């Protein structure tokens, strides 16, 4: 007879063990991350908070395989990142992680629809299917009517919603958002919080934020200071 | 939208900038190709001058003057400039450097009843140049109807006459519309079959008759007499030595290249060098322009490179995008160059007094040069795209 699901220890989606990241700034060595141990179980929203320069974004970049740590071990969605070569890391990013940036980072000469289709193109999804899926995602963020608009024709909030739709394009188990409301007014930010909260019901969303209201919506808040987690 | 389409589309982000870049690049590219062509044309002209003029030596009877060799004629049997002279020429120490030796014998044909009374009958070996005696120099006769004497005409009584001679003495107004084979002319009682009509562009040069030298001898009995011997050397390097040796032949005066030709050669060589240097300079300008535009494109788009990589774009996809951008920029520049090259070639031809006709070679040069520049334009973007990690690219933005 099998054990009840609730008693089974849950597999973490993110597992960090003694992760360090040092940068060299001229002659000075900067310790962006200093012995981070972290375990995050799916699903739900996790907020990383801390003062500027505390290492929040560096931590997010390590989890998202955007950068390699100086030391330690990172396992995301059961993949040991240190064991992956550059090409495998690229494939990992496109299949496992969705990114939302503070400055939206949409490609300016592509329409909202084309921006959302982009990660699917990199993932080899055929054109008709990626068009269909992109429209569904734009519908989900309430921007289907703006599908043919370029970023310059959209407001900041709309651009961020397109960026969230883009992050979900390949249906990744993990969404990483770096200050997603940092460039938005509080009212627009509220809409983004709700959207991220809704997304976090079915997957893990890790948000780096200064915004207290957003952190309060998270199931877990991780504090970081001087590259170390603060309990 | 694939990487290639994105790369092409990137050029439309700033249309005025692209228009300026394409126009500038097209202008520089067309000038580069034209100057390269001019440099080659000048070199070719120098080579032609060296081959045809500097290596050509004229021998005439000692004391004779002018292209007609006047003043040196002596009665048959007393003449000094003869077939023996020809043999002496062929036996000089530099004989192995004689690329060609052509002998000519002339006979004036004076008919005061004609408007242009003075004509010249010129005997030559079939195959030798039709050197018509012009107003100030020899004129290269161009066949305008029929043909020149052929090697199998060696002993035939055939003639090639000048346009004016044909018109005034044979009544042929329209050489192209005349059945030449049916026409004859009589020289000293001997029938000659007309096989060709030439033109030099001036009346004096167009009033001669060329006939095979054997037919000349059989008709006019000039004995061993010759009027001119033209010697062509195999290289400019051997001219000086050969001239020294030919001057040892007492009965001949040796006429070498006039100073003007040497000056023309120097001028052409200078022009060739200047155009070649100009072409090299323009190559550098075009390469700098393309590389600068592409470096700017990459530096402006660090954030975009970082974003694409964060979204899972492979290095290849980022690289292909920039290659497509560079190739499109150069292709548009190439099209601009093709459009500009025709009016610019007219202007260059006029300015340099050199025939520059744009053709398939020009178009091919533009295509090759544009491809080369596109390749150069890709080097920096490709290097940066391969080097940068997503986070580095985002941090640089």
Q: Are residues B210 and B169 in the same domain?
A: yes
Does residue A7 lie within any of the structural domains?
A: no
Token pair of B296 as six digits: 């700017």
Interface test with B, best of A23, A58, A66, A167 (most B CBs within 10 A): A66
Residue B260 lies in a domain: no
Q: Is residue A225 part of a domain?
A: yes
B316 has a chain A CB within 8 A of its CB = no
Q: Which of A159, A70, A54 is CA-nearest to residue A115?
A: A159
User: Which chain B residues touch A107 with a CB distance below 8 Å?
Assistant: 6, 304, 307-308
Residue with tokens 């370029």: A150
| Domain count within chain B | 2
Residue corresponding to tokens 């003639």: B159
Return d(Cα A228, Cα B80) in angstroms, integer.
Answer: 114
Burial class (CB in 10 A: 0-12, 13-18, 19+), B47: exposed
* A91/chain B closest Cα distance in angstroms: 6
Q: In this predicted structure, what is the pLDDT of residue A231?
A: 65
Count Cβ atoms within 10 A of the Cβ of residue B140 and give its class: 0-12 exposed, 13-18 middle, 19 or more buried: middle
Contact check, Cβ <8 Å, B311/A94: yes
8 Å CB contact between B104 and B58 = no
**CATH code at A224?**
3.40.50.300
In tens, the pLDDT along B69-102 reads: 776 667 766 778 999 999 999 999 989 999 999 9
Residue B245 lies in a domain: no
Residue A3 vs residues A7, A9, A13, A150, B346: alpha-carbon distances, Å: 7, 11, 21, 52, 91
Q: Compute CA A63 distance to the chain's CA centroid, rounded to the nearest angstrom.
A: 9
| pLDDT, mean over chain A | 91
Residues 6+ apart with CB under 8 A from B395: B306
Residue B161 lies inside a defined structural domain of this protein: yes
Same domain, B160 and B201: yes
Tell me how far apart the alpha carbons of residues B323 and B334 are, in angstroms, rounded to a whole number.
16
Is B384 in the same domain as B282?
Answer: yes
B314-332: per-residue pLDDT in tens?
A: 989 988 988 898 889 889 9
Instruction: Summarize the confidence of residues A125-141 as an average pLDDT.
Output: 95
Q: What residue numbers bound the domain in which B140 lies?
A: 56-234
Q: Are residues B226 and B103 in the same domain?
A: yes
Is B1 in Cβ contact with A99 (below 8 Å)?
no
Average pLDDT of the segment spanning A46-58: 92
- Residue A107: closest C-alpha in chain B: B304
The phi, psi pair for B363, rounded to 5°, reads: -60, -45
Based on the domain organization, do B152 and B103 belong to the same domain?
yes
Helix (H) or strand (E) holding B302: helix B302-310
SS3 B82: strand
The whole-number average pLDDT for the span B233-246 is 84
Tokens in use for B195? 């096989």
Q: In whole numbers, what is the pLDDT of chain B averaged over residues?
A: 85
| Domain-located, residue B7 | yes
Residues of A in contact with B389 (CB under 8 A): 66-68
A17: in domain: no
Q: Are strands A204-208 and A44-49 parallel, antiparallel or unpaired?
A: parallel
For A153, the domain range is: 43-55+91-230
One domain for residues B108 and B216: yes
Set of chain A residues whose Cβ sits within 8 Å of the Cβ of B313 = 90, 94, 122
* Angle between helix B15-49 and helix B259-300 axes, rounded to 10 deg: 160
Torsion of CA A162, A164, A169, A173, to 10 degrees: 180
The predicted pLDDT at position A4 comes to 46
Integer angstrom CA distances of residue B74 from B121, B358, B370: 17, 54, 67
Distance from C-alpha of B264 to C-alpha of B249, rounded to nearest angstrom: 30
Q: Please say if the pLDDT value at position B267 is more than 90.
A: no
pLDDT of residue A3: 42
Residues B166 and B96 in one domain: yes
pLDDT band of residue B157 (cuts 50, 70, 90) is: very high
Q: pTM for the full model?
A: 0.64
Residue A163 lies in a domain: yes
Cβ neighbours of residue B264 closer than 8 Å, sequence gap 6 or more: B49
> Which candidate from B6, B12, B310 shows the least CB-CB separation from A93?
B310
Contact B6/A119, CB-based, under 8 Å? no
User: According to the model, what pLDDT value does residue B351 have?
Assistant: 76
Does A191 score more than 60 pLDDT?
Answer: yes
* A74 domain-assigned: no
pLDDT, position B260: 47
* Residue B388 located in a structural domain: yes
pLDDT per residue as tens digits for the range B251-264: 999 887 654 456 66
Mean pLDDT in residue range A28-42: 92
Picking from A193-197, B37-41, B190-194, which range would have the lowest pLDDT averaged per residue? B37-41
CA distance linking residue B324 with residue B379, whole number of Å = 13
Domain co-membership, B123 together with B198: yes
pLDDT of residue B62: 87
Structure tokens belonging to residue B255: 């006429």
B226 and B78 belong to one structural domain: yes
Q: Let me know if residue B205 belongs to a domain.
A: yes
Residue range B236-263: mean pLDDT, rounded: 79
* Same structural domain, B36 and B69: no
B27 pLDDT above the threshold of 60: yes
The answer on pLDDT for A92 being more than 80 is yes
Task: Quote ipTM for the complex.
Answer: 0.90
Are B67 and B38 in a shared domain?
Answer: no
With 0-12 CB in 10 A as exposed, 13-18 as middle and 19+ as buried, what is B257? buried
Residue B251 lies in a domain: no
- For an interface test with A, the pick among B2, B15, B311, B387 (most A C-beta atoms closer than 10 Å) comes out as B311
For residue A90, give the nearest of B6, B10, B314 by CB distance. Answer: B314
Q: What pLDDT is attached to residue B352?
A: 66
Q: With contacts defined as CB-CB under 8 Å, which chain A residues touch B8? A: none
Count of structural domains within chain A: 1
Smallest CA–CA distance from A172 into chain B, residue: B311
Q: Is the predicted pLDDT of residue A209 greater than 80, yes or no?
A: yes
Indicate whether A172 belongs to any domain. yes
- pLDDT at B379 (0 to 100): 87
What average pLDDT does range B131-147 have in this prediction? 80
* pLDDT average, residue stretch A134-162: 95
CB-based contact A207:A177 (threshold 8 Å): yes
B389 confidence band (pLDDT: 50, 70, 90) = confident
pLDDT at residue A5, rounded to an integer: 45
The beta-carbon neighbor of B312 closest among A67, A107, A123 is A123
Tell me chain B's radius of gyration from C-alpha atoms.
32
Directed axis angle between helix B360-387 and helix B315-352, to 10°?
Answer: 150
Asked whether residue A166 is domain-assigned, the answer is yes
Residue A33 within any structural domain of the chain: no
Q: Which residues contact B81 (CB under 8 A, 6 or more apart)?
A: B59, B60, B61, B62, B64, B72, B225, B226, B227, B251, B252
Tell me if chain B has a CB within 8 Å of the CB of A110: yes
Q: Do B391 and A66 touch (CB under 8 A)?
A: yes
Burial of B221 (C-beta count, 10 Å sphere; 0-12/13-18/19+): exposed
- The confidence band for B36, taking pLDDT boundaries of 50, 70 and 90, is confident
Cβ-Cβ contacts under 8 Å between A and B: the total is: 69
Residue B76 sits in the same domain as residue B218: yes
Q: Report yes or no on B248 lying in a domain.
A: no
């Amino acid at each position: 007879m099998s054990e009840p699901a609730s008693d089974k220890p849950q597999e973490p989606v993110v597992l960090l063990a003694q992760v360090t990241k040092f940068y060299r700034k001229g002659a000075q060595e900067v310790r962006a991350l200093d012995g981070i141990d972290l375990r995050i179980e799916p699903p739900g929203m996790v907020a990383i908070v801390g003062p500027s320069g505390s290492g929040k974004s560096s931590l997010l970049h390590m989890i998202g395989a955007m950068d390699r740590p100086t030391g330690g071990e990172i396992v995301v969605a059961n993949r040991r990142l240190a064991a992956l070569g550059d090409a495998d890391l690229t494939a990992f990013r496109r299949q496992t992680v969705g990114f939302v940036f503070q400055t939206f980072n949409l490609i300016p000469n592509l329409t909202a629809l084309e921006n959302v289709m982009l990660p699917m193109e990199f993932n080899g999804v055929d054109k008709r299917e990626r068009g269909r899926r992109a429209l569904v995602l734009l519908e989900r963020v309430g921007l289907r009517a703006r599908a043919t608009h370029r970023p310059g024709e959209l407001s900041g909030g709309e651009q961020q919603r397109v960026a969230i739709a883009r992050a979900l394009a390949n249906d990744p188990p993990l969404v990483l958002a770096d200050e997603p409301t940092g460039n938005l007014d509080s009212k627009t930010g509220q809409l983004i919080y709700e959207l991220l909260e809704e997304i976090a019901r079915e997957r893990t969303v890790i948000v780096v934020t200064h915004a207290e209201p957003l952190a309060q919506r998270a199931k877990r808040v991780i504090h970081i200071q001087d590259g170390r987690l603060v309990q | 939208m694939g990487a290639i389409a994105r790369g092409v589309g990137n050029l439309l982000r700033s249309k005025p900038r692209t228009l300026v870049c394409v126009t500038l690049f097209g202008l520089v590219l067309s000038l580069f190709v034209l100057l390269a062509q001019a440099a080659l044309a000048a070199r070719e002209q120098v080579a032609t001058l060296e081959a045809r003029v500097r290596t050509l030596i004229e021998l005439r009877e000692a004391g004779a003057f002018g292209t007609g060799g006047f003043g040196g004629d002596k009665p048959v049997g007393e003449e000094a400039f003869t077939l023996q002279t020809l043999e002496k020429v062929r036996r000089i120490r530099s004989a192995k450097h004689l690329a060609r030796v052509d002998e000519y014998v002339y006979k004036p044909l004076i008919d005061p009843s004609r408007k242009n009374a003075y004509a010249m009958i010129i005997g030559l070996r079939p195959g030798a140049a039709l050197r018509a005696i012009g107003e100030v120099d020899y004129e290269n006769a161009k066949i305008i109807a029929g043909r020149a004497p052929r090697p199998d005409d060696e002993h035939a009584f055939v003639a090639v006459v000048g346009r004016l001679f044909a018109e005034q003495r044979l009544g042929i107004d329209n050489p192209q519309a005349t059945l030449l084979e049916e026409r004859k002319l009589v020289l000293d009682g001997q029938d000659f079959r007309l096989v060709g009509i030439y033109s030099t562009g001036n009346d004096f040069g167009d009033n001669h008759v060329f006939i095979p030298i054997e037919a000349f001898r059989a008709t006019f009995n000039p004995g061993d007499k010759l009027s001119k011997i033209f010697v062509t050397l195999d290289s400019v390097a051997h001219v000086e030595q050969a001239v020294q040796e030919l001057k040892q032949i007492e009965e001949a005066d040796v006429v070498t290249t006039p100073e003007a030709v040497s000056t023309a050669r120097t001028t052409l060589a200078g022009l060739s060098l200047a155009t070649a240097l100009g072409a090299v300079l323009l190559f550098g300008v075009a390469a700098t322009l393309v590389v600068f535009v592409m470096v700017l494109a990459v530096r402006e788009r660090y954030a975009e490179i970082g974003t694409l990589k964060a979204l899972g774009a492979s290095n290849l996809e980022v690289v292909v995008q920039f290659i497509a951008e560079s190739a499109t920029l150069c292709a548009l520049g190439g099209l601009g160059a093709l459009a500009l090259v025709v009016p610019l070639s007219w202007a260059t031809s006029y300015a340099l007094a050199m025939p520059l006709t744009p053709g398939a070679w020009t178009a091919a040069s533009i295509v090759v040069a544009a491809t080369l520049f596109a390749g150069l334009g890709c080097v920096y973007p490709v290097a940066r795209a391969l080097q940068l990690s997503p986070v580095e690219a985002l941090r640089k933005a």
